[in-house]
Copies of this chain bind each other. A is one copy, B any other.
Amino acid sequence: MDAAAAPINVAVDLVVLTLRQGRLSVLLVQREDEPYAGTWALPGGFVQLEEDLLAAAHRVLQSEASLGREHTYLEQLRTFGDAGRDPRGRVISVAFMALGADLPDPVFGPGAADARFWNLTDIDPAALAFDHAEILGTAVERARAKLEYTTLATSFLPPEFTISQLRGVYESVWGTSLDPGNFHRKATRSPGFVVDLGTQTDGTGGRPARLFAAGEGTVLNPPLLRGGD
């Protein structure tokens, strides 16, 4: 804790994930300025001197994605700080992951030429600015892992949802398909995962589904496993 302090710049970068048409998507911003002008990057910004890291992340989320604190999950991933990661000088970036239900395309602010959600599969990682491909990969990996043992999947859904929609989250994020019957049982029996609202959807060519809301629990015990074999 004692040595010469160095003038290092601190930024936050956000991996905003959502599902669009059942596909995992991430918000990217096309940079207007150098370095990496014209290329796509994660939304981010420098941390202000008196600003908590989480507050900085929320500020960027608001300004670059028009997303408020409600209905958006936000957690710190980790910090990327290799000496050569930014050509402008020493910049370390505290990366955050945000999850939300089918988010709108953002109204982009200054510094951005364009901003929109990309299907994960349409992104060429090598084309992203800075080390953002690595940050994005870390976020996706974290999201996939957390679906197994937390109730995080509900963050991808609106306040009221069906078990099919919840299953769709798992299938989209994991890229697998799951047995509807078995999934239904596990989801409804995991304590604290979902709450039966008693209401129903109107059937769209099938039996109407019950509506659920996210439960109070955060941990899934027992976990919902991918076939990790």
> Residues of A with Cβ closer than 8 Å to B?
1-11, 13, 31, 33, 41, 44-53, 76-79, 81-83, 90-92, 94, 110-111, 219, 221, 228-229
Contact = CB atoms under 8 A, between A and B. Distances in A.
25 contacts: A1-B41, A2-B46, A2-B110, A3-B45, A3-B46, A4-B46, A5-B9, A6-B47, A6-B48, A6-B49, A7-B49, A8-B9, A8-B10, A10-B92, A47-B81, A47-B92, A49-B90, A52-B82, A53-B81, A53-B82, A53-B92, A76-B79, A78-B79, A81-B94, A219-B228
A2 B49 contact: no
A225 to B, nearest CB: 9
A128 to B, nearest CB: 12
A152 to B, nearest CB: 15
Nearest to A9: B5
Nearest to A130: B1
Identical subunits present: 2
Q: State the majority secondary structure of interface residues on A.
A: loop
Given A1-B45, A45-B1, A51 B9 contact: no
B9 A83 contact: no
Contact of A44 (B1, B77, B81): B1
B228 A33 contact: no
Given A53-B79, A76-B78, A79-B53, A46 B94 contact: no
Given A2-B45, A33-B2, A110-B2, A50 B7 contact: no
A2 B23 CA distance: 30
A113 to B, nearest CB: 12
A228 B221 CA distance: 7
A47 B82 CA distance: 11
Contact of A94 (B13, B47, B77, B79): B79
A6 B46 contact: yes
